[in-house]
Amino acid sequence: MAISSCTKQNEDWANLLDKNLSQWDNYLSYRHKEGYNGEQPKDEQGNLIEPIGANKDEYGVFTVIEENGQQVLRVSGEIYGCVSTKQEFENYHLRLKVKWGDDIYPPREKLLKDSGILYHSIGKNGAEYWPSWMMSQEFQIMQGHFGDYWSQATSVIDIRAYPPEYTMSAVADKSQPFLSIGSDEALGGYCMRSANFEKPQGEWNTLELICFEGKSLHVVNGEVVMILQNSRYKKDGEQIPLTKGKIQLQSEAAEVFYKDIQIRDLDTIPVEYVQYCN
């Protein structure tokens, strides 16, 4: 990647957020309803409804506001979709701050507030179940679940985790061997973070994503909650490395705010995280 094309905040970090969202595209699909079954929605006459599409945010789902003199990305959540970096990134350290707003929409009105960082994003928009995001790996942002993992479309990754039993999910833990997690894998496409380090409603949380040569770390408020490696995706029966791509921030039926979105190149794993990548 060429971070030099980004606005420099200091010698190492590049700032990805400005008032015009000039380094991001956006994509909107649908206002999903209760009982969505993964099929393309239809109108009352039974006609297929097309997604809103790319860079057609006339609804103000993604806006930059000012809070205490700082630029903040507000994601309303009203329509499913994302902002995605125009640039692809490989071998990097991403950090940002996030907090919840108050608004929540169908089909999540009685569920936890939800968003996420989708990394190594490639291919077309709307490739997964909700037709809203590219194929990617997900750093989950959900109430009580900051740092969970979700597979998007056919992505797969190995995670140090306890295996699931019965109705339980796999749970990340640095003491455990790596398990293969993906939508078509035996253990499914979801793994829970090792512990909850989310701050109370209305407070800013600092999230960090370390990506280097197919390995990644999910870091929440200074705590490593998941260790991942061997990022890949499936195509025509083959498993293909997935180590670079765009970064997406989700709109997923809940109001959420992002600020201090920064990134830097990595030539190696930062020394403070080496112990997790051996």
Show the tokens assigned to 68: 């205490």
Residue-wise pLDDT tens digits, 231-249: 999 999 999 999 999 999 9
Q: What pLDDT does residue 184 have?
A: 86
Residue type, 151: S
Average pLDDT over residues 140-163: 97
Q: What pLDDT does residue 24 have?
A: 98
Kindly tell me if the per-residue pLDDT of 7 is higher than 60: no
Say how many residues make up the chain: 278
Average pLDDT over residues 45-49: 94
Q: How many Cβ atoms sit within 10 Å of the Cβ of residue 90?
A: 15
Q: What pLDDT does residue 166 have?
A: 85
Show the tokens assigned to 238: 């083959």
% of the chain exceeding 90 in pLDDT: 90
Average pLDDT over residues 78-89: 98
Q: What pLDDT does residue 214 have?
A: 97
Cα–Cα distance between 80 and 62 in angstroms, integer? 11
Q: What pLDDT does residue 183 have?
A: 87
CATH superfamily of 3-31+47-276: Exo-inulinase; domain 1 (2.60.120.560)
Kindly tell me if the per-residue pLDDT of 10 is higher than 70: no
Average pLDDT over residues 184-203: 94
Average pLDDT over residues 90-101: 98
Q: Give the residue among 200, 217, 199 at the shortest CA–CA distance from 208.
A: 217
Average pLDDT over residues 183-191: 91
Cα–Cα distance between 191 and 172 in angstroms, integer? 7
Average pLDDT over residues 80-84: 98
Q: Beta strand 244-251 with 81-85: parallel, antiparallel or unpaired?
A: antiparallel
Q: What pLDDT does residue 11 have?
A: 55
Kindly tell me if the per-residue pLDDT of 121 is higher than 50: yes
Q: Give the residue among 52, 62, 58, 59 at the shortest CA–CA distance from 28.
A: 52
**Residue of 4 and 39 predicted with greater confidence:** 39
Cα–Cα distance between 129 and 136 in angstroms, integer? 12
Kindly tell me if the per-residue pLDDT of 171 is higher than 60: yes
φ and ψ at residue 5, rounded to 5 degrees: -80, -10
Distances (CA, A) of 150 to 3, 145, 231: 27, 11, 12
Q: What pLDDT does residue 118 have?
A: 98
SS3 call for 67 = strand
> How many Å separate Cα 155 from the centre of its chain?
13
**Mean of pLDDT over the chain:** 94
Q: Using the 8-state DSSP alphabet, how is residue 271 labeled?
A: G
